[in-house]
Structure 1
Amino acid sequence: MALSSTDIGSRTEFGSYFLSENATTKDPLTWIVLDRDAESVLLLTEFGIDCRCYHPGCGDITWENSEYRSWLNGEFYSTAFSADEKELILETVNRNPDNELYHTRGGNDTRDRVFALSLDEVKHYLPDTRSRQTTPTPFTLAKNLWTHKDKTCYWWLRSPGIMQYNAATIYYSGLVSDIGCFAGDEKVAARPAIRVRI
């Protein structure tokens, strides 16, 4: 499906990544169209496509300096997209406000090619629990991430959680967790977002 013809809420393929359990070949990535304007679409992976910690250790961290951000804009970006696809991925200026409930610092604004949604964005673009639920790919499941009996999983947001060493998450059930998970947890799914020129 051409990106120029996608509607909000539809699925489209763009890029490729390791999806099968054996991780020997890459397969097309499926994305949900969250938003669009005359020039671009905002995409979120349909599934949890990997299992990563937000940041190792137990020190204070914000999105700007997190290992998760470095991985998304480095290894994942390099692996998942061809040179032609990279030309279409726009640099997004992301605001990183403080956690309103717990007043933990969100940090500086960032410029990202690939990013995680914020608390505000996930509530806006995915307004109900069902729309926020996701399942892991076989590749991700093989990494022993936390899953519910129905195979839904936690996934990271970029916003801070209850402490400066926590990051906000989405629960199995699709509930938004402002408390979040310990940033060093390695059993939470990655669900990247990108903005692509059409």
Structure 2
Amino acid sequence: MKNYEIGSILSFGNYNWRVLDIKENSALIITENIIEHRVYHDAYKQITWADCALRFYLNGEFYNTFSATEKSKIVSVINKNDDNQWYGTDGGVDTKDSIFLLSIEEVTCHYFGNSSSKLYEPGKNQRYWFERKDDNNNKRIARFEGKTGVWWWWLRSPGRVNLKAVYIHGDGNVGIQGNNIFKGNISDGKCTGGVRPALWMKFY
């Protein structure tokens, strides 16, 4: 059994992954970079993580890119899908996932620094995003594999309405109001959001 530490980088499948958490003989890992761009859902309609196209892709086509040996190391988990903390938007039912996106709470309270005060006690000027001066923003910045520049990436949590999903802006700020699930953010010329899959992996 290899000795992994939180923050270390490991190779699994075709990608490099960062260790976010360790429990017993398993590690929560997320791809170090954005690995591709996809829409959250393939139609503009009210949707939650449980029924979105991106979830089915990650647990289907993407999951099947792993070898049988690699699949045996992936742990299926039950993910809780909370309502949006600012807007009360329905987060949907709990889901059983082999591969998933992180939630807003996981990203802002646990694995990329603690910005919980901004999530649960927003300032009067916080309407759509966290504060741009949040000290933890730089921890959330992600590159697109093989490309220059920084790019935004999806979380699984619902945005202001169920036509939007929360995202991490290119500067690491949290877009809690969300981007369009079907068209992403047309204004920045990068219509579909970045994907950083996460999963629990057995050490052996």
The alignment's TM-score, normalised by the length of structure 1, stands at: 0.85
| Residues 1:135 and 2:135 are matched in the alignment | no
Q: How does 1:4-15 map to 2 (within 5 A)?
A: 4-15=2-13
Look up the equivalent residue of 1:135 and give its one-letter code: R
| Residues 1:179 and 2:167 are matched in the alignment | no
Separation in 1 of the partners of 2:61 and 2:143? Answer: 22
| Residues 1:70 and 2:56 are matched in the alignment | yes
- Structure 1 counterpart SS, 2:151: coil
**Partner in structure 2 of residue 22 of structure 1:** none
| Residues 1:193 and 2:198 are matched in the alignment | yes
Separation in 2 of the partners of 1:137 and 1:7? Answer: 23
Give 5+ residue unaligned stretches, structure 1. Answer: 17-28, 142-149
Percent of matched pairs sharing the same residue = 39
Q: How does 1:20-169 map to 2 (within 5 A)?
A: 29-79=15-65, 81-123=66-108, 124-127=110-113, 128-138=136-146, 151-169=149-167
Residue 180 of structure 1: how far off its partner (Å): 1.1
Separation in 1 of the partners of 2:77 and 2:69? Answer: 18
The alignment's TM-score, normalised by the length of structure 2, stands at: 0.82
Number of matched pairs: 173
Give 5+ residue unaligned stretches, structure 2. Answer: 114-135, 184-190
Separation in 2 of the partners of 1:99 and 1:131? Answer: 22
**Partner in structure 2 of residue 25 of structure 1:** none
- Structure 2 counterpart SS, 1:60: coil
CA offsets per residue over residues 145-180 of structure 1, 9 Å max, x none? Answer: xxxxx6110000000001111000000011111111
**Partner in structure 2 of residue 147 of structure 1:** none
Residue 187 of structure 1: how far off its partner (Å): 2.1
Q: CA RMSD in A?
A: 1.2
Separation in 2 of the partners of 1:191 and 1:9? Answer: 16
